[in-house]
Chain A
Amino acid sequence: MKKEVVMIISLVIISAFFMVVAMSLTFGSPAMTDMDDYFLRYGQEQTGTNNQCTSVTFDFRGFDTLGESTVLFCAVIGVALMFRRMQGGEEHEDE
C-alpha cells in the first residue's frame, strides 16, 4: 500500500515536470533558424543533392561522418577481439 502511494506521487511529480518542459517549448517556431534557412536555401545549389539530410551529413558536416565511420570500424575490431577471446584461444580465421 505504501509502495503504491509512493509510486503514484512520484509519477505525478515526474509527469508535472515533463508537462512544464513540454509547455515551455515552442514547437514549429524554433528560437534559432539561421543555419536551417541557410541549408534549405543554398544546399541544393552548393552540394547538388535533393536530399538535404545527405547534403548535411556528407558535405557540410563531412568530418562528423568520418568520425562515425571510424567508430564503426573500431566497433567491428572490438567485437572481433571479444569473440576471439571467448572461444578460448582457438585460432580464428581472421583477426
Chain B
Amino acid sequence: MRMSRIVRVAADLVYPAVLIFGLYIVAHGHLTPGGGFQGGAVIATGAALVIVAYSYAEVRKWLSGKVLMGQEVIGLMGFIGVALLALAFGQVFFFNYLNASGSLFGTPVPYGINAGELNTGGFVPLMNFSVGCEVWGGLTLVILYMMSGIQKEAT
C-alpha cells in the first residue's frame, strides 16, 4: 500500500540528503561529534523513510537482504582486519599504526585547539567507515524484517 504522490516525491527529495548527512557524520567521525554508529543509524533512518513512503513489497524488489547482510559482514570483517593489520607493522592488536606516519590519514596533530583536518586520525577513519558500513546494513536489515512482520498483520 504505497502512499500518495506528494509523500513519495518528498521522500525522493529527502532521501539523498539523509544519505549524504549520514555519510558526512561517518567521514567526519574523528573531527566532529558522531562516528560510525551514529552515521549508520542516520542512513538506516533514510531506509525506513523510503519503506514508509513506498510499500514494503515494492521496496523489497530493489533492496535485497543478501546485499545488506554481506555489507554487515564486510563491515565487521573490515573492523577486525584493520585492527589485526597492526600485527604486520610489529605492533600490538588495536595499535594506531597509521597515526603521524605521513601516509593515508597520517598527518600529525598538535596538542591544543586547532581547526582540524580530514587527513588525520590514523586508522580511526577506517574504523569509522567499517563500523558505519556494518550499522547501515544491520539496522536496515532489522527494519526490513520488522516491516515484513507488520505487513502480514495489515493485509
Which residue numbers of A lie inside 8 Å of B, CB to CB? 41-42, 44-51, 53-55, 57-59, 62-63, 65-66, 68-70, 72-73, 75-76, 79-80, 83, 86-87, 93-95
Whether B31 contacts A51 by the Cβ 8 Å rule is yes
B66, A54: Cβ atoms under 8 Å? no
In the complex, what distance in Å separates the CA atom of A93 from the CA atom of B146?
14
A72 touches B138 (CB 8 A): yes
Interface centre among A48, A49, A70, A86 (most CB of B within 10 A): A48
Number of A-B contacts (CB under 8 A): 121
B111, CB-defined interface residue at 8 Å: yes
Seed contacts A45-B100, A55-B124; 15 additional CB < 8 Å A-B pairs: A42-B111, A48-B96, A48-B109, A49-B109, A50-B109, A50-B116, A51-B30, A54-B124, A59-B94, A59-B122, A63-B94, A73-B76, A76-B142, A87-B152, A94-B64
Q: How many residues of B contact A (CB 8 A)?
A: 48
Query: Which of A50, A63, A69, A83 has a CB less than 8 Å from the CB of B114?
Result: A50
A69 to B137, CA, bound (A): 12
B65 near A53: Cβ-Cβ < 8 Å: no
When distances are taken between beta carbons in the complex, the residues of chain A under 8 Å from B128 are: 54, 58
Interface residues of B (CB under 8 A from A): 29-33, 35, 37, 64-66, 69, 72, 75-76, 79-80, 83, 94, 96, 99-100, 105-112, 114, 116, 120-122, 124, 127-128, 131, 134-135, 138, 141-142, 145-146, 148-149, 152
In the assembled complex, how far is the CB of residue B57 from the closest CB belonging to chain A, in whole angstroms?
Answer: 12
Query: B80 — which chain A residues lie within 8 A by C-beta?
Result: 66
Candidate in A45, A53, A66, A72 with the most chain B CB atoms within 10 angstroms: A72
16 pairs, A vs B, C-beta closer than 8 Å: A44-B110, A45-B109, A47-B96, A47-B124, A48-B100, A48-B105, A48-B109, A48-B124, A49-B109, A59-B96, A62-B83, A62-B94, A73-B134, A75-B138, A79-B146, A93-B66
